[in-house]
A and B are shown apart, each in its own frame.
Chain A
């Protein structure tokens, strides 16, 4: 009954630990790291812009 609808994906294999063995992997690894660093910088900006006010304001009524 529709197992195809719910194909479970195997978690993608983690990138090679030993980048030195394969320069392509090393280059890709570096790019991934650069992208990640950019993302982390972006998050720093988001934090600086928003965190203080948000933490003061995020108060809910409380539900169930």
Chain B
């Protein structure tokens, strides 16, 4: 089976707490909380890097090959290391959640101990309470094919991308401009996608993003960048979102999938992604290719094609598992109350179970105005405090479902439903320190970092690091001591430790040169 590098970049939302109050429009990784953000990066490096190494800027690659940095709009972003298996990606993405929560907690403790009552909480979702959005971007390495056309990729892949929300949607409580009117969407990002094809990521989000920064040999590879997916907490959602897309790309690149029955009008896909998102019963049909098609129909098409494709190839246990899980979620989607059947797999479904439980306990429903107040029995509302509105209850549950925080876990647990696990807790714990995929460039980066640590330890040096996907440099007081140039690092499938010579970073170097000047 062909190997394919995949990864995600998750932009997190953050809330700053000043004392016990959340601070509106104050960004922990923005310019006013430099002190707090500095401590965050210090703790991160102290826990996950040797103390003899440091990054001078807020752009850190850890031993596990992952990258943590501050992106557009002061959003902290976690990018997973190069993975060649969707199981590995799940472990790597979940490891990121563990690390960020742990470091946030430690940072908040330190800030409190210094008398600075400022703390940060991370949210792994995609929308705030004013409809601003931040993304979960997927990357898939593709071959460089001179016949490649974006329009063709759009027609072959978009029907899958617009219907993955069946299992990959994270759910959103949406408040309309009409006061009191609210609704529930399957996906947080569906309504943010305005274009079929576009290279932008902030003003112009497209079904298929046309940015191509392979971070690899650009004559061999292109990197497909998908920005319409939601951030997921459920491991099954992360797994399926990724593996089904990999299977679709395999079929497309192999010429096995050359056309779909879903028509050639990209704008219909744009409309469909929203219309699907607005229907939790999953029965909404959109006209595509002259027929009325539901998102279940779309997923069945790709699943059936993928099954045929895999049968023709050599047996692979991971693929078999993925197809069986795909079957499970499609069957669950056809049940009369699909959110209950899908709750172990999909965030939107689990969240809907939680919301319905609140509705049942507190006596309100889908038609209740978002402005209506819900008093709790036995609570005294005489002093200033008013009962919460329906919208306040729902929106808090909606967002805190995604919190890297004990409250987030409590909310998810309150569903009474066990998530369907994809990888063991041990695999996730290990992924904090080592890339889960052992045969990709992430492993090379891991080895480079360890080599730098060893060199620093042996000589009692402190080394500053300058690392990118396709670059490695460790320096002592501005003088490089270890370096690997872009050409040397251009193969994302090569896990071997390698360095260039200091005078020629692209030329592979023998061991003997590595003791430094």
- Chain A residues at the B interface, C-beta cutoff of 8 Å: 1-3, 5-9, 11-12, 32, 36, 39-40, 42-44, 46-48, 50-64
Contact = CB atoms under 8 A, between A and B. Distances in A.
23 contacts: A6-B87, A6-B88, A6-B91, A6-B422, A6-B427, A8-B321, A8-B422, A11-B344, A12-B418, A39-B413, A42-B410, A47-B393, A48-B388, A50-B22, A51-B395, A58-B399, A59-B129, A60-B13, A60-B75, A61-B72, A61-B74, A62-B132, A62-B134
**Is chain A's binding surface mostly helix, strand, loop or mixed?**
helix
B388 A51 contact: yes
Most B C-beta atoms less than 10 A away, residue of A44, A46, A64: A64
Contacts of A3: 317
B357 interface: yes
B11 A51 contact: no
B128 interface: yes
Dominant SS among interface residues on chain B? mixed
B21 interface: yes
A49 to B, nearest CB: 9
Contact of A64 (B23, B128, B227, B396): B227
Interface in B86-145: 87-88, 91, 123, 128-130, 132-135, 137
Nearest to A15: B416
Interface string B377-406: 001000001101001110111011000000
A1 B495 CA distance: 14
B206 to A, nearest CB: 12
For chain B, give the interface size range.
35 or more
Given A48-B379, A54-B22, A64-B11, A5 B396 contact: no
Contact of A57 (B15, B321, B379): B15
Nearest to A36: B416
Contacts of B123: 58
Contacts of A9: 421, 424
A35 B239 CA distance: 30
